[in-house]
Amino acid sequence: MTDKLSSPSMFIGIKQENLISFGSGQPDMPPPKGIYDILPKYTNFAYGLIQGEEKLRNSLRSEFLNQDADKDNFVITNGASEAIDLTFRSICKPKDKILIHAPYYYSYPPLLKANHIEPVITETIGGRIQIDDVEQKIHECKAILINSPSNPTGRIQEIKTLKEIEKLAKDLGKVIISDEVYKDLIYERENYMLSGDHVITINSFSKTFSMCGFRIGYLYSNDKSIVKRAIDIKTHSSMNTNILAQQMAIEALKTPKSVIEEQRVRWENRRDTIYKGLQDLGLDLWKPEGAFYVFPKIKNPRKTVWELYKNHDVITYLGEWFGSPNRIRLSYALETDKIEEGLRRIKNYINNT
């Protein structure tokens, strides 16, 4: 039966009594109340600008403190997913290559494949990018895709490494695609935002503002020709992003930074709970520095994920979906008491097999 574990999509959207899901990257904390306040009086229904509402793009400039971001260089998308897809489609042709670091977010390889792009893999050590390996492999690639903090490892890259990659890509004329959807969820330092004319930044309202189901993300590039190509494709592939969700996103951006910081502290406490809990079970894992995932090594991962689900109502994700077959991924986007209940069930399972 474990052959049913084909991809994470089998677990997405499942609702089931008594289930503890360490599966999806869906924050349980609700979005800012303000996004609902505009609903009762909402009446618009017409097509919007393909690029996204001007007011939203203007508000997003505050997210880019270290650069002078231009509102006309954002494209509002159906989540970070569409932003990444549009980026691939805008900069690559079939058989081009993109360098990604493993373990990687599970969508990258299939999305590259859907665009006939070949992934080139650089293995991380302890979740850290090895710059020597990047230096070797980047030559054959059109771009490098950086995801720090990383899903699934929860690790962040050292600022020194990120600066080296910035310089390397600039010198060689390579594009950096920087997927920073967890930028507001770092426990060890401030975010270092990759920047420069060769950087395409990807972000979303799903993690910071819990707006997953509304599918609001964006891409940003200083390079107007890339922005134009992305808009040209989106004109035909999906048109404007949902106009109401964009208005809700404008409200979300009014959230005080102090509230985002309070959330971060709650995430950090959960991180501590699950990290200690899994350590106490004797599992080998990295301490998460950002995002909300732990990625322990485990024996018989396929059997473990299946039996935890079928016999203990616990969802976890297979490490092989992320390029790491001897691990499993647990999201800790759950209340602490649910995390603790999940840990008890995992302990029970481990002790009885």
Name the one residue in this structure whose structure tokens are 């997927």. 179
Taking the least distance from each CB to a second copy, the nearer of 201 and 241 is: 241
Please name the residues in contact with 229: beta carbons below 8 A apart, sequence gap of 6 or more: 89, 90, 91
254 contributes a contact to a second copy by CB under 8 A = no
Distance of CA 181 to the CA centre of its chain: 5
Cβ closer to a second copy: 209 or 275?
Answer: 209
Count of residues that interact with a second copy, criterion CB under 8 A: 54
Task: Return the number of the residue (33 or 257) whose C-beta is nearest a second copy.
Answer: 33
In degrees and rounded to multiples of 5, residue 318 shows phi and psi of -70, 130
| Distances from the Cα of 220 to the Cα of 22, 197, 301, angstroms | 31, 10, 38
Residue of 18, 47, 68, 190 interacting with a second copy (CB under 8 A): 47
Is the CB of 18 or the CB of 44 nearer to a second copy?
A: 44
Quick one: 248 or 285, whose CB is closer to a second copy?
A: 248
- The helix/strand/coil state of 83 is helix
Instruction: Report the number of secondary-structure helices (H) and strands (E) in the chain.
Output: 11, 12
Cβ count near 266 (within 10 Å): 12
Choosing from 12, 159, 259, 265, the residue that interacts with a second copy (CB under 8 A) is: 12
Decide if residue 342 touches a second copy (CB under 8 A): no
Closest of 31, 27, 26 to residue 13, by C-alpha:
26
Q: What does the block give as tokens for 175?
A: 């594009």
Query: Three-state SS for 340?
Result: helix
Q: Using the rule CB under 8 A, which residue among 5, 20, 50, 141 binds a second copy? A: 50
Number of C-beta neighbours around residue 352 at 10 A? 8
Task: Give me the helices (H) in the chain, please.
Answer: 34-37, 54-60, 79-91, 108-114, 131-137, 159-172, 224-237, 243-252, 257-280, 301-312, 336-351
Taking the least distance from each CB to a second copy, the nearer of 244 and 350 is 244
For the segment 148-187, give every residue that binds a second copy (CB under 8 A): none
Instruction: Show the binding pattern over residues 293-332: x = contacts a second copy (CB under 8 A), - = does not.
Output: ----------------------------------------
Least gap, CB of 23 to a second copy (angstroms):
10
**Residues 80-109 close enough to bind a second copy by CB under 8 A:** 81-82, 85, 89, 93-94, 107
Q: Which residues of 148-186 are buried (b: 16+ CB within 10 A; e: fewer)?
A: bbbbbbbbbbeeebbebbbebbeeeebbbbbbbbbbbbb
Q: How far is the CB of 49 from a second copy (least distance, A)?
A: 4
CA separation for the pair 81, 64 (Å, rounded): 20
Q: Does 24 bind a second copy (CB under 8 A)?
A: yes
Residue 43 engages a second copy in binding (rule: CB under 8 A): yes
- Cβ 53 to a second copy, closest distance in Å? 9
Q: Per CB under 8 A, does 58 bind a second copy?
A: no
The CB-of-74 to a second copy minimum distance in angstroms stands at 15
CA nearest to 32, candidates 203, 185, 214: 214
By CB under 8 A, what part of segment 207-246 binds a second copy?
210-215, 231-233, 235-245
**Residue numbers at the binding site for a second copy (CB under 8 A):** 7-9, 12-13, 24, 26, 30-31, 36, 39-40, 42-50, 78-79, 81-82, 85, 89, 93-94, 107, 110-111, 114, 116, 210-215, 231-233, 235-245
